[in-house]
A and B are shown apart, each in its own frame.
Chain A
Amino acid sequence: MAEEEAPTQSTSRLDNPGTLLQSVSTSLTHEKITILPGYEPDYSACTFCLWQEDHTLGNALRWIIMKDPDVEFCGYTAPHPSEPKIHIRIQMYDNHSAVDCLRKGLSNLRDLLTTVDASYKSSLDSGNYIKENDVDVRAVVDNTLRERGFAVEGDDERMDTTS
């Protein structure tokens, strides 16, 4: 699996030589997730900061959390393009815990993706689709050139070998 290959958890797999990420975070290590100041003591309204995540996870997570009927509000933002992090704000009805909601959202998203994966693989295994070769662009170009009376590279050599 990818996790065991990735260096350390907090710096993540994006931490490659020459990345923009490195120049921003130099030697600091960041927690993957923190709760920003100003949260409700019972966690009924929190803003989470996810380090080294972007719209990829942010928007998907926002959508699945909004599917929870106990959620009053959920939104996310990437505060600045040169900081590799996102903020996810969750506000709950009836003093439910936003942390539990986030955990539930993550697990629902996992279920969703596993379902899509299985569905894709079964469609692929069914073999019920068009299988064909790629268009040979070079052959098409060469043919057009020949039709229009231009010399095609390689043609004379081929003639040489046959003669």
Chain B
Amino acid sequence: MSQSNIEARRHVQVLPERVGNVAGSEFPGHYPGEDHSWNLEKFKKNLVTSVQRLTPSTVEFDLVGVDASIANALRRVMIAEVPTIAIEEIYVWNNTSIMQDEVLCHRVGLVPLKVDPRSLKYRPSSHAQPHETDTIVFDLQVRCDKIPGVDPKVEKDPKKLYYDSNVFTGMMKWQPSGDQGKKYKGKAPKPVDEDILLVKLRPGQQVDLHCFARKGVGADHAKFSPVATASYRILPQITLRGPIPLEHQEKFQKCFPPGVIELKKDEQGEQQVVVANARKDTVSREVLRHPEFQDLVQLSRIRDHFIFSVESVGQYQPEELVPEAIKILLSKITAVEEGLDKLFSADAQVA
């Protein structure tokens, strides 16, 4: 098998009206005379992980050399199974705002909390007593009043007329219990953002909430998901099959997002079309709509090259999310292995 044909297997074809060669076929027995059985050494050699960009909230990295099922498992775990802390139960002692108790509580429940999820345990059961190792308590007590001496006939701005007419997440006060004061010294639990508007009040109205935050996973409720988004796309590739005529070069360039195609002078001093950065392509397939380009270009994607983009909500540092996801996948594997041990030890006892 020639090298180019093996390379072509990595390509998912992007055709005008369909995609081709979508699923990987590198399994034992598929290609005569080739060994595609699992080989850790080969995998290690082919695997490339390269972080591309890191900001306080996002990480972008390339994962090359794995199957889509592995990349997808990572993505799914980050979204649905990496735990965080969120408010689960609320005692509404008082709420005279115009917002109904349940609506206000729902809003409070969605607030992302800056608490290291690794510092708390899961609640043993839904009936268990709250414990300092599995519950964090917040109080939200706000009352709106008139600011004395401001004439409402002249001043219309509620901020200048009233105290605390807006209830923000920053007004939630953590109530340490037991050893929590020591445990969270210097990193007191608080909302990730302190400027989220929860409800608006008018003079005489008040809210008094007693909130219990617990550890949970996104599979239970999206408020527990630690990622604003975790997604991947597959690296696009643009193959030029022949020179683009000079009169069509600019039109060709305009078929792609800026930065994908560049016009450069070759050694003979003639202007040529070159693919500068296929990564920026959105694979809109615009170029395939023009008959003059149809035989000159081939669009494809590299099947095992995943470009991940992970945005953290704030409970975790963005770069921590992938290792956390891997930890959880490993614990799933261990759980199944233990299940197998138990299954066959039970079998042995019966026999």
Question: B29 touching A69 by the CB < 8 A rule?
Answer: yes
List 16 other contacts, CB 8 Å, given A53-B332, A128-B50: A13-B217, A14-B219, A15-B125, A16-B214, A16-B220, A17-B88, A17-B126, A18-B220, A57-B73, A57-B333, A60-B69, A106-B337, A113-B70, A116-B63, A129-B50, A132-B55
The verdict on A143 contacting chain B, using a C-beta distance below 8 Å, is: no
Question: B53 touching A2 by the CB < 8 A rule?
Answer: no
Question: B220 touching A12 by the CB < 8 A rule?
Answer: no
Chain A residues with Cβ below 8 Å from B44 are 115
Question: A108 touching B38 by the CB < 8 A rule?
Answer: yes
Cβ proximity bits B314-331 to A, threshold 8 Å, 1 near / 0 not: 000001001100111111
Say whether, besides A5-B122, A113-B329, A123 and B37 are in contact (CB < 8 Å).
no
Question: A3 touching B54 by the CB < 8 A rule?
Answer: no
Question: B37 touching A67 by the CB < 8 A rule?
Answer: yes
Chain A residues with Cβ below 8 Å from B338 are 9, 32
In the complex, chain B residues 81-137 whose Cβ is within 8 Å of any chain A Cβ: 81, 83, 88, 121-126
Chain B residues with Cβ below 8 Å from A115 are 40, 43-44, 47
Q: Distance in Å from the Cβ of B220 to the closest Cβ of chain A?
A: 5
Question: A120 touching B61 by the CB < 8 A rule?
Answer: yes
Chain A residues with Cβ below 8 Å from B43 are 112, 115
The verdict on A35 contacting chain B, using a C-beta distance below 8 Å, is: yes
The verdict on B335 contacting chain A, using a C-beta distance below 8 Å, is: yes
The verdict on A130 contacting chain B, using a C-beta distance below 8 Å, is: yes
In the complex, chain A residues 6-42 whose Cβ is within 8 Å of any chain B Cβ: 6-7, 9, 12-19, 22, 31-35
A-side interface residues, number (CB < 8 Å)? 66
Which of B77, B83, B124, B335 is within 8 Å of A56, CB to CB? B77
Say whether, besides A2-B331, A7-B122, A130-B53, A31 and B342 are in contact (CB < 8 Å).
yes
Question: A124 touching B55 by the CB < 8 A rule?
Answer: no
Question: B55 touching A12 by the CB < 8 A rule?
Answer: no
Total A-B residue contacts, Cβ distance less than 8 Å: 183
* Distance in angstroms between the alpha carbons of A60 and B38 in the assembled complex: 13
Question: B327 touching A2 by the CB < 8 A rule?
Answer: yes
Chain A residues with Cβ below 8 Å from B80 are 56
Chain A residues with Cβ below 8 Å from B123 are 16-17
* Distance in angstroms between the alpha carbons of A18 and B334 in the assembled complex: 26
* Distance in angstroms between the alpha carbons of A19 and B125 in the assembled complex: 12
The verdict on B251 contacting chain A, using a C-beta distance below 8 Å, is: no
The verdict on A159 contacting chain B, using a C-beta distance below 8 Å, is: no
Chain A residues with Cβ below 8 Å from B72 are 55-56, 59-60
Question: B122 touching A6 by the CB < 8 A rule?
Answer: yes
Chain B residues with Cβ below 8 Å from A54 are 76
The verdict on B340 contacting chain A, using a C-beta distance below 8 Å, is: yes
In this complex, what residue of A is CB-closest to B81? A56
In the complex, chain B residues 47-61 whose Cβ is within 8 Å of any chain A Cβ: 47-58, 61
Question: A121 touching B27 by the CB < 8 A rule?
Answer: no
The verdict on B343 contacting chain A, using a C-beta distance below 8 Å, is: yes
Q: Give 29 pairs: A residue, B residue, CB < 8 Å, sorted on A.
A: A2-B331, A5-B122, A13-B217, A16-B123, A31-B339, A31-B343, A33-B343, A50-B336, A56-B72, A68-B38, A71-B28, A106-B337, A111-B40, A112-B70, A113-B330, A116-B63, A116-B66, A116-B70, A117-B323, A119-B49, A120-B51, A120-B323, A122-B49, A123-B51, A124-B319, A131-B53, A131-B54, A132-B53, A134-B56
Q: Distance in Å from the Cβ of A30 to the closest Cβ of chain B?
A: 10
* Distance in angstroms between the alpha carbons of A126 and B54 in the assembled complex: 13
Chain B residues with Cβ below 8 Å from A53 are 332, 336
* Distance in angstroms between the alpha carbons of A56 and B221 in the assembled complex: 17
Chain A residues with Cβ below 8 Å from B340 are 33, 99, 102-103
Cβ proximity bits A69-100 to B, threshold 8 Å, 1 near / 0 not: 10100000000000000000000000000010
Chain A residues with Cβ below 8 Å from B337 are 103, 106-107
Chain B residues with Cβ below 8 Å from A3 are 331, 334-335
Chain B residues with Cβ below 8 Å from A62 are 69
